[in-house]
Each structure stands twice: as structure tokens, then as C-alpha cells.
């Protein structure tokens, strides 16, 4: 009898959905570069709906490592028309110390010790990779100088406000236009139940999400944004008191720090000092993703969660594309292969990553050639810091009832893609889900059944076929 690894089987079952539901439909027109939110939209100009019937426009511009953008259509500026030469590879100044192959599948996917340019133009470089500092400088340049508004993006990586839940739309409407024009997130990543909590936003940009969350946590809550790009932090700071006045707060509950999300300790952010960490389209840009997740875990209180949206690849992105400043800046080539992300999240202590939602992230055919067939998804994960979670999903005969008491989710609460709780219904849950709900800020919104249950009924859900 062949022994089956229960953990692998379980992860395979839960995450196969991500793959199945995220198969990227390639645009026939070949004009769509990238769009996580565009899954419902039309390719403007061609007028062919890609999926569904929504009205989200999809950018049709193109980007390239060494040849640069070929010019924008669809009314959007190319980087050249904005007076920038974004096709410059730049950055590679040093000697190659090795071949620059990153270690894959271990969480070290993006960290390299070598230096070189993506197109071989840098002095002395052979086949190496940029250093972490050089990658960060490219990203700063991209978000500090090249991209001034959403319209300057070479892809439509950005999420539109149409996608926000109805309770958030009026809150988003309170945010200053200048801040909103520099919202570059790839999804909506604001969780429920934020009243009176402390929230940290990694890569807060112009502060758009922070100023929405500021209203949700209320005057007694706290929001901290961290970003490394001067102009973004300056803009966010410029509007901090303006928003406090607008919200009728005596004192602002938002603070912005200039710094690196890999080094939160340098900003004096203490262990266990936040209830929630959010982040919107940023992890993919970091050259040291393990450090970011480790720091997020450190600053979270027990029972807290990291709730964030980002771009993931459906296979590992070839190393030679990772240093392309445009592909990275547009949130494509720095994206982790989703299975490597799961491994990494578990490694730092987030034992049971949950997918809240996932959708295709469209990439233009011309880029697809360059990407060697790699496809992408935009996914929101929630990662709880709860110490007694198991790596597998197990059934201990437990159940919960959602009280319907969360103002933003009166009828049903989407906890994750597999756990959607209707108000008033008693539903069986795995021990991990039971523990996440009970250890977190969701606790008072649920009734719990079988708290002391010690009897194990096998994998959750019970209908799962046994394949030994
Ligand atoms: C795609 S933008 C998203 C900004 C913001 N979250 C939003 O939704 O508008 C990425 C932001 O992350 C910041 N960023 C990228 N890597 C970073 C790092 N390692 N440390 C700090 N900030 C970083 C950039 O400066 C930029 O403002």
C-alpha cells in the first residue's frame, strides 16, 4: 500500500482551485498587456469582451526590457511620451560574482548576490543578477519618477474603485483626488472588522488604502504606512492632517514612515504591535520576500493576520527576467510562483495560508513570448498568526455560527474561498478554521460548538475521498 503524504494531498486539493479558477484567458487581440482587475472588461478599441460584461478598460501598451515600450495606445502615455527612457536597463554596475541563478522553491527565489544588467549593457557584467539594493533602486525610480499617475502604467496592474464593496465606496470618495490618482494597488485588500484595531500597510504608496482604513479603525484605532519611495511618502504625509480634518478626527490616526518593508525593525516597529498587516501589490517588488514575511509575522499580535493582495506566477519566472526594471515595476517578473509563496509563508510561521479570492492577471501575447509561457494571477491571501494551527486541514467535529454582527457583512461573511458563512447558519469547520476564528478579532461575531472536541474524524471536509 502506497503511503500518501496527507499534507501534500490536502494542499493539492485546496490549491488546485486556485489553478483551475485562474487559468488565464489570453486576449485574442494581442493588445492587452496585463490586468488583474480587467478580467471583466473589454479590450478597448477591439470591443471584444474577455470575460463577463464589465466596463473595466484594459491598457494596450507594451513594455520590453531592452527595447523599451513601443508606445501606448488607448489614450495612455508611453514612458517615452512622458519624457522618460524606461527601457534603460541601468543598475548593473558591478562584476559578476557567479552565474546569478537564484535558488528556487526555498523562499530565496529572488535573492541574488551578483550584479549585471538585463541586457548585458553594464560594465563588467557577465551573466549575473542585480543586487537587492539595485532592484529596490529600480523600483523606487519606477514609482518615484516614471509613474506619476495610474495612466502612466505600462500595464493596467491597477485596481479600479468600481471593484470596491459598496460600504467602501463612500470611504474611498473621502480620499483626496491627488492621493487617489496614485493608487497603484492590484486589488481591494481591506478586511472586515477593523474597528479600533492597529493596522500596518506595507508599501503604502500615496496612502490611499491607509486613508480608507483610517476611517474603518476610527479615531481610537491606528494606521501605519511604510514605503521606501520619497515622493510617495511625501504625498501621503502632505495629506495626513487634511484627511483627519475631513474625517472629523481631533488628531490623525495615520502615520507614514519612509523605509524598507524588509527592515521594519529599523523603523522602531515593535514585536506584536499590530492586529492586521495589509499590503497591496508590493511583495512581488521586493528582492527579499522572506524578510518581508518574517517581519510581518514579527509585528503581528497573536491572533492577528496579514491580509494582502499581490500578483503570483503559475510557474517560476525565469531568472533572466527578474531584473528587467519595467517587467518588475509592472509587478510581473518579481512575482512568486504561488506554490513557492505557500512554502515561504509556512516557513516563517503562517502555517495555513488561505486564499480569499483569485483571478487571472492578463499579460499581452508579446510579453507572454518573453515570459516563456508564464501566466499570472492576482490573489488575496489571509495569513493568521495563530500558534496551534496544523499544516493539514483536519476534522474534529467542530462547528460555528456567524451572528451576522459585522456591519460590512450582515448577510454573509467571506472568510476565505472555502468558508463563506451565512448569518445564522451552523456550519462544520476544520479545527484550523475554528482556531483562527476563535483566536482572532472575529471571535465575538461567532458562536462556537465543540470547543473541547478531541475526537479526530479524519481530513476536513469528511467527504474527501481516501486515496490510499
Ligand atoms: C504598486 S505600488 C502600490 C502602492 C500602494 N500599496 C497602492 O496600493 O497604491 C508599490 C509600492 O511599494 C513600494 N515598495 C516596493 N518595494 C518596497 C520595499 N522593499 N520597501 C518599501 N516600499 C516598497 C513602492 O515604493 C511603491 O510605492
Q: What would the pLDDT profile of 121-169 be if each residue is shown by its tens digit?
A: 333 333 578 888 888 988 877 787 777 776 666 555 556 677 789 999 9
Q: What is the mean pLDDT of residues 203-225?
A: 98
User: Residue 123, SS3?
Assistant: coil
Nearest CA to ligand 1 atom 26: 205
Measured CA to CA, the distance from residue 73 to residue 57 in angstroms comes to 12
Same fold for the pair 143-384 and 393-468: no
Q: State the distance from the centre of ligand 1 to the C-alpha of 146, rounded, in angstroms.
A: 14
Within 13 Å and on the Cβ side, how many CA atoms surround 335? Answer: 28
Instruction: Report residue 64's pLDDT band, with 50, 70 and 90 as the boundaries.
Output: very low
DSSP for 388-452, written as a single string? T--SS-B--SEEEEE-S--TT-SSEEEEETTEEEEBT-EEEE-HHHHHHHHHSTTGGGEEEE-TT
Ligand 1 neighbours (beta carbon < 6 A) = 136, 139, 143, 183-185, 203-205, 208-209, 226-229, 232, 260-262, 280-282, 285-286
Atom of ligand 1 nearest to the CA of 140: 25
Instruction: For residue 407, give the C-alpha cell.
Output: 456591519
Measured CA to CA, the distance from residue 414 to residue 197 in angstroms comes to 20
Q: Is the ipTM of this complex over 0.90?
A: yes
pLDDT at residue 389, as a whole number:
97
- Domain range annotation of the chain: 143-384, 393-468
Ligand 1 pocket test target in 131, 152, 205, 230 with most atoms within 8 Å of CB: 205
Q: Which residue has the cell 486556485?
A: 18
pLDDT at residue 19, as a whole number:
39
Q: State the distance from the centre of ligand 1 to the C-alpha of 428, rounded, in angstroms.
A: 39
Higher pLDDT, 135 or 46: 135
Atom of ligand 1 nearest to the CA of 201: 6
φ, ψ of residue 317 to 5 degrees: the values are -75, 130
Q: How far is CA 19 from CA 309, 359, 414, in A?
A: 16, 10, 20
Cite the DSSP H helix spans in 108-239.
Answer: 132-141, 169-173, 177-180, 208-217, 230-238
Q: State the distance from the centre of ligand 1 to the C-alpha of 239, rounded, in angstroms.
A: 18
Other C-beta atoms closer than 10 Å to the C-beta of 458 total 12
Higher pLDDT, 137 or 448: 448
Overall fold of domain 393-468: Ribosomal Protein L9; domain 1 (3.40.5)
Contact at 8 Å (CB) between 272 and 301?
A: yes
Atom of ligand 1 nearest to the CA of 157: 1
pLDDT at residue 232, as a whole number:
95
Other C-beta atoms closer than 10 Å to the C-beta of 48 total 13
**In the predicted model, is pLDDT for residue 55 greater than 70?**
no
Q: What is the pLDDT of residues 294-323, one digit of tens each?
A: 999 999 999 999 999 999 999 999 888 888
CATH number of 143-384: 3.40.50.150
User: Residue 110, SS3?
Assistant: coil
Ligand 1 pocket test target in 282, 310, 330 with most atoms within 8 Å of CB: 282
DSSP for 235-286, written as a single string? HHHHTHHHHHHHHT-SS--EEEEES-TT-GGGGT--TT-EEEEEEES-GGG-
Measured CA to CA, the distance from residue 49 to residue 448 in angstroms comes to 45
Say how far residue 305 (Cα) sits from the centre of its chain.
Answer: 14
Amino acid at each position: 500500500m502506497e503511503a500518501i503524504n496527507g499534507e501534500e494531498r490536502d494542499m493539492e486539493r485546496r490549491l488546485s482551485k486556485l489553478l483551475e479558477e485562474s487559468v488565464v484567458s489570453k486576449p485574442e487581440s494581442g493588445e492587452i498587456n496585463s490586468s488583474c482587475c480587467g478580467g471583466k472588461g473589454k479590450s478597448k478599441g477591439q470591443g471584444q469582451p474577455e470575460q463577463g460584461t464589465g466596463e473595466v478598460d484594459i491598457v494596450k501598451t507594451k513594455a520590453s526590457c531592452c527595447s523599451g515600450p513601443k508606445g501606448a495606445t488607448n489614450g495612455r502615455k508611453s514612458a517615452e511620451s512622458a519624457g522618460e527612457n524606461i527601457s534603460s536597463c541601468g543598475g548593473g554596475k558591478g562584476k559578476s560574482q557567479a552565474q546569478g541563478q537564484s535558488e528556487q522553491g526555498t523562499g530565496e527565489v529572488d535573492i541574488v548576490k551578483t550584479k549585471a544588467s538585463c541586457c548585458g549593457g553594464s560594465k563588467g557584467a557577465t551573466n549575473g543578477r542585480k543586487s537587492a539594493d539595485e532592484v529596490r533602486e529600480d523600483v523606487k525610480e519606477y514609482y518615484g519618477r516614471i509613474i506619476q499617475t495610474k495612466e502612466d502604467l505600462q500595464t493596467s496592474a491597477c485596481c479600479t474603485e468600481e471593484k470596491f464593496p459598496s460600504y467602501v465606496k463612500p470611504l474611498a470618495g473621502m480620499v483626496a483626488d491627488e492621493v487617489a490618482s496614485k493608487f497603484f494597488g492590484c486589488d481591494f485588500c481591506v478586511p472586515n472588522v477593523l474597528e479600533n484595531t492597529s493596522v500596518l500597510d506595507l508599501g503604502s504608496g500615496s496612502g490611499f488604502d491607509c486613508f480608507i482604513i483610517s476611517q474603518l479603525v476610527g479615531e481610537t484605532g491606528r494606521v501605519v504606512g511604510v514605503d521606501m519611495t520619497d515622493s510617495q511618502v511625501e504625498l501621503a504625509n502632505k495629506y495626513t492632517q487634511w484627511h483627519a480634518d475631513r474625517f472629523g478626527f481631533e488628531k490623525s490616526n495615520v502615520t507614514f514612515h519612509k523605509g524598507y518593508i524588509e527592515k521594519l525593525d529599523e523603523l522602531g516597529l515593535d514585536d506584536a504591535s499590530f492586529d492586521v498587516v495589509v499590503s497591496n501589490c508590493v511583495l512581488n517588488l521586493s528582492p527579499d520576500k522572506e524578510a518581508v514575511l518574517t517581519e510581518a509575522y514579527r509585528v503581528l499580535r497573536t491572533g492577528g493576520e496579514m491580509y494582502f493582495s499581490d500578483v503570483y506566477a503559475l510557474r517560476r519566472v525565469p531568472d533572466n527576467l527578474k531584473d528587467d526594471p519595467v517587467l518588475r515595476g509592472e509587478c510581473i517578473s518579481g512575482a512568486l510562483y504561488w506554490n513557492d509563496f505557500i512554502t515561504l509563508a509556512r516557513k516563517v510561521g503562517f502555517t495555513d495560508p488561505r486564499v480569499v479570492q483569485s483571478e487571472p492577471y492578463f499579460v499581452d501575447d508579446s510579453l507572454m513570448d518573453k515570459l516563456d509561457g508564464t501566466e499570472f494571477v492576482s490573489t488575496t491571501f489571509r495569513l493568521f498568526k495563530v500558534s496551534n494551527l496544523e499544516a493539514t486541514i483536519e476534522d474534529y467535529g467542530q462547528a460555528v455560527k456567524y451572528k451576522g454582527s459585522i456591519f460590512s457583512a450582515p448577510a454573509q461573511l467571506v472568510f476565505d474561498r472555502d468558508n463563506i458563512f451565512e448569518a445564522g447558519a451552523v456550519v462544520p469547520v476544520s479545527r484550523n478554521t475554528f482556531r483562527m476564528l476563535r483566536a482572532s478579532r472575529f471571535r465575538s461575531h461567532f458562536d462556537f460548538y465543540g470547543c473541547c472536541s478531541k475526537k479526530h474524524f479524519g481530513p476536513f471536509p469528511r467527504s474527501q475521498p481516501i486515496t490510499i
